[in-house]
Structure 1
Amino acid sequence: MRLKTRFDAKAGAADLWDYIREPRPYRWTFLTISILIPLAGIAMLAQESHFRPPDAPKVSFISTFAEGRSDEEIRQSNLENQKRKDAREAELAELRQQKVDAYKTLGRATGLDVDEMARQAAIENAREAAEAEARRRELYRAGSTVDDSGE
Structure 2
Amino acid sequence: MKMFGKVDVGGGLSDFWAYIREPRPHRWAVWGVALALTWVVFSGVEQYLIPVDRPKAQIIYFENWTADRSAGEIRADWIARARETTRRNARKRAEYQRFADSLGIEYDSTEADRVTRETLGEEAAEAVKQRPAPPPRSTLAERAARGPQPEITD
Question: TM exceeds 0.5?
Answer: no
Structure number with higher relative contact order (C-alpha < 8 Å, ≥ 6 residues apart): 2
TM-score (norm 1): 0.32
Task: Give 1 or 2 for the bigger CA radius of gyration.
Answer: 1
User: TM-score with structure 2 length normalisation?
Assistant: 0.32
